[in-house]
Structure 1
Amino acid sequence: MRTVVMLFTRDLRVRDNPALSLACTTADRVVPLFVRDPALSVPPNRERFLLESLADLRESLRGKGGDLVIRHGDPVAETVKMARQVDATGVAMMADVSAYARARQRGLESERLMVKALPGVTVVPAGEIKPTTGGDQYKVFTPYFRAWQSHRWRSIAPTPKRIAVPEGLSAGQIEALPSVPEWTGGETAALKRLKKWRPLSDGYAEHHDDLAGDRTSRLSPYLHFGCLSPLELATAGLHDAFVRQLCWRDFYHQLLATFPAMARKAYRAGAVEQWHDDEEALQAWQTGHTGVDIVDAGMRQLLAQGWMHNRARLITASYLTKSMGLDWRAGADWFMRHLVDADVANNYGNWQWVAGTGTDTKPYRKFSPARQAQRFDAEGQYVKRWLGFDPPIRGKG
């Protein structure tokens, strides 16, 4: 009997999961495996979301006759150990672009395992769309968006009906942490949120920048952990303005694929970086005590919910870099520490765009907090809502 290890990473779903679909159609037995790497520093809110997503995935797999095997340790070592234990012929997994993900895949391939890495983290795989003028990536969004729209996307992968797991495997425990009202992880919760938001999606273009109205989808954490398929979202008949945001996500992933140093080095060649070093000012920004209401409201929402409205992300990032003159890396790292949807490609790509070191064709662009507040929080409701929250964090970031 042919056995394949299905290594889950950032694809915690059963719908439109090409790797899972391939494993189930080409093997008699499948070992759905997730390895928790203790070397990764995961903030409490993302860990909670991850654990809930794993528990939900386990229930979905069990409903199909399978299970989710949990192991702790180095992902390469644990996957190899599992493959040898069940005499697997190969490993199926989702292809990803971060330095961590690529090192993981190279590590597995170096063990002489047959590794099949399939698309699914983005709508269009990074590197599949290349400029007609030459080069390995698009460096400006608008021409990438045009190419992305006209590109032929892959088909939705069928959901397995049954999953046969080798007998005698210890599934392992999934730790339970107290739930929080803002977020519930998992594919089931993701589909419920999408269903609830769908009637509002027609007004996305007109209302998604309204800070107080909060008409955004809040699907980004589910996309980050792969609880939702970005391709299914892109083909779900949602407003074009929302689909455009999915393209931005793809755009930054294709940048990261060819520029793995995006989290630490300026992407734009020749970018001048002359940042101030002011720990007190940085701490004031981190905790929402700059004295600029719209900026402080956004930062306090981040600390309260582990999430921030996209317009507020632009405002707070611009204020840190263009008004305070502080290094974009400090701001991006703070977002990574607190956002439940923190993603290397999107987070650092967006921060570089705002800071003028990335792909913005107008690197001098600056968001005026007063003007932004007037346009997107005219009645001050967003500010009133969040300035009443006093952040518990007082230590240095």
Structure 2
Amino acid sequence: MGGVGSTTIGLMSGTSTDGVDGVLVRWSADDRPEVLAHVQHAFDPALRAELLALNSPGENELHRAALAANALTEAYARTVDALLADSGVAGAEVQAVGAHGQTVRHRPGAFDGTGYTLQLNAPALLAERCGIDVVADFRSRDLAAGGQAAPLVPVVHRALFARPGRDIAVLNLGGIANLSLLHADGRLSGFDTGPANVLMDLWIERTRGLPYDADGAWAAQGKVLPTLLADALCEPYFAAPAPKSTGRDLFHADWLERLLARHPGVAAADVQSTLCELTVRSVAQALAASMPSAAELLVCGGGALNGELMRRLGAALPAVTVLSTAGRGLPPLQVEAVAFAWLARAHLSRVAGNEPAVTGARGARVLGALYPA
């Protein structure tokens, strides 16, 4: 796919809504990535607040969403500039920027049978700012073909981490958790398992004013509340069959408030500990049901840096080797951005970027739309 030494940029801002991860990647002839630069830019607090607010209905949404998309794109452009400066690579050497955008609504199949998935972005503006071809709008074609439009990363996880003859699972722990199941016989499956960090981040921000629970230290101080955990696991999404995907449309502040209203008087640290366990238990149950013979669980995303979460995953899956993707050559905070660098390259080569067995689409499709420089 693509030429030897081709270079693309991947930009990802995920459900955690904490900022932009960008990578500049040079690809080998056998599709192996060499990350020449990695940049993280935190969102300005006002932009983060607006992106989070746009996940719910509100006044003057179209105007606010358009301006938020412009502001997000300026953050993307600064990330591209930093990647080029850090790597010493000229913009003219980059074939394309893969820019995911910020998901604010995700309702595949809902309402009219097609539904929608909405990623705020202004890719034409990004092409103007950077002078590099931009590939964006990766999800809408899979949705148009009857798919969930998510998760998209399993195809890339297979290219990066599959080993013939071994059942390997890759777990992305962003705001939402998704599993990629790389079967020993070459088959690929995967789905969103449920919340990863989204509920934990909501709770610690609400109760302690912190954006996230660093290393899971607060969760480690609390205790798991069995009745609260059992109630949370009654959410029908967990038992729904794949293909399936989810986001803040389901796992949001109101969902958490309704849950806690049924369990008055619980200690805040115990809630955090139980929400951590909800992520662990929902992942472990999904893996046991869909790939009981998994030899390894490779973890990426911000949750891979949460020591308490990783410790609990290992305890819940004693027969599985649980390790960060860093142990397989790619740091966990780079994986999703590398995925969109890969998908941009796939678009240019007219290579399908979805997997119908994962998303439920009617067939393989080339994903994204091109905005020439």
Q: Which has the higher contact order (CA 8 A, sep 6+)?
A: 2
Question: Which protein is richer in strand relative to its size?
Answer: 2
Larger radius of gyration: 1
Which TM-score band applies after superposition, normalised by the shorter structure?
under 0.3
| TM-score, normalising length: structure 2 | 0.28
